[in-house]
Structure 1
């Protein structure tokens, strides 16, 4: 019942009206009860769907959650458009397709993709839009589980580019970086040849036929095997020390095809400050063949001058 004034006379006068209002409200609420029950069921269903979706994008077994905010997505699209020179609509389309590939492959594959969602999708979206040489040889220095290579092959193939893939990685069971502890991977999956082969198969025929050279990019025998051709796309994601990045870029100068695209991963990432320092140092050297195009998320894109 509605609260009434403390004055006894007023209470006696108003009580019948208050009781009438209470009865009408009760009848109205009773009529709304089916609708309220239906809304409660709908909310429960939506919560269940939300929880199921959260399992797909949860970061427990990844480098982090796969849920970029609208603002992060807009920033990524702007960066891809600026670096590649394409309209924002084309940049957004490639970013969306890259995101779908990332979610699909991480659900099906073994292991994970390393890095933030924005950085991974930025690399996957921008590289094909930079129009590397026709039928390029692709070199990835540092692959972890091979999932980025598989995703990149799919994005290149979608753009009408038929690549051939070479991967260099020590494949010693875990991800290695000088000066950092070898912690267990969140997936619990070992970094080894059979895992990389299984994941590369998601890249189609170029993934199945990919050449995997086991070892470090600074090893003489590794370089001898890999330097048998020129590469239209080179992804530098190996040793993140300043010395390691400089060595990989110096090697890339010798094996990159004219007009090729160089992707330097973790450029500008505060956790790996030596990557940017070394890349900027290399680009400042006279005689370099590389032209800095810009950064997307935490990856730098370079073009090989003719």
Structure 2
């Protein structure tokens, strides 16, 4: 039996149907090609944006990249709330502002802030939320001085004008006094004479501790393994004490509040 499609009459009858199918296929192919071209353009735009964002936020010149995921931020907000007792909206807002400070300071300053995004932003957000009893801040171990500048700015947002004391040997790369002072200037403020002071030397040096013992500090940030009993003795009643991952056992008089990322938060005993 001859094929139906080889029959001239059948061809004539089916020609309109074939034409309609071809038109629909052409329209579908054209629409698909349009969508594919749009997708190619979108991917190219994303690649350009990602490259520029990577230059700003990748790990070059610092401990790690500065591109947190939504999950990481959610976890950080929960940890900050657990330690500070802050409400969710305020805490998320402060974590967001802390992240913006981190990015801005590393973009403008020399060097970087040590630690992960979660640890740095946790410190910057949590300390003001814990309402330290005064604006005197002691930072033991500073690297480049950028964290102190960020903390000054975060405290100022809460109405506290910080007086920062930095203890560090500053005996060579990467820590140099000229670099640290330049970075600390990014903390802004009214430029009071006692807004920032640097005590060069190790915290284990009794002479250094004597130089900084003229005040009791509302915030004490301890980077490294130092004598925590001596730290406690410099704390004002109710002071906020932040201990890094290398810190030793807490002495009596420092009550643990919890952990945020890699840091442990404590409250100094209040006056009896």
For Structure 1 versus Structure 2, the TM-score category normalised by the shorter chain is 0.7 to 0.9
Gaps of 5+ in 2: none
> What is the alpha-carbon distance in structure 1 between the residues aligned to residue 191 and residue 242 of structure 2?
19
Report the counterpart of residue 233 of structure 1 in structure 2. 219
Change (3 A) 1:207 1:121: farther
Structure 2 residue corresponding to 1:252, chosen from 197, 209, 231: 231
TM-score, normalisation: structure 2: 0.87
Report the counterpart of residue 218 of structure 1 in structure 2. 204
Contact 1:57 / 1:65 at 8 angstroms: preserved in 2?
Answer: yes
Structure 1 residue corresponding to 2:253, chosen from 289, 299, 303: 289
Gaps of 5+ in 1: 1-7, 175-189, 267-271
Give runs of aligned pairs for residues 45-84 of structure 1, distance below 5 A.
45-84=45-84
Report the counterpart of residue 148 of structure 1 in structure 2. 147
Deviations 1:30-68 (A, max 9, x none): 466556544433332222112111211101211001111
> What is the alpha-carbon distance in structure 1 between the residues aligned to residue 186 and residue 156 of structure 2?
12
> What is the alpha-carbon distance in structure 1 between the residues aligned to residue 160 and residue 100 of structure 2?
19
Give runs of aligned pairs for residues 123-272 of structure 1, distance below 5 A.
123-134=123-134, 136-174=135-173, 190-205=174-189, 209-238=195-224, 240=225, 245=226, 247=227, 249-266=228-245, 272=246
> What is the alpha-carbon distance in structure 1 between the residues aligned to residue 240 and residue 55 of structure 2?
35
Report the counterpart of residue 4 of structure 1 in structure 2. none
Deviations 1:101-160 (A, max 9, x none): 0011111110000000000000110000000013x2100000000000000000000111
1:304 maps onto 2:268 in alignment = yes
> What is the alpha-carbon distance in structure 1 between the residues aligned to residue 190 and residue 169 of structure 2?
21
Change (3 A) 1:34 1:19: same
Change (3 A) 1:31 1:291: closer
Report the counterpart of residue 183 of structure 1 in structure 2. none
Q: How many residues align?
A: 261
Q: Please say which structure displays the higher CA radius of gyration.
A: 2
> What is the alpha-carbon distance in structure 1 between the residues aligned to residue 50 and residue 168 of structure 2?
38
Give the deviation of 1:18 after TM superposition: 6.2
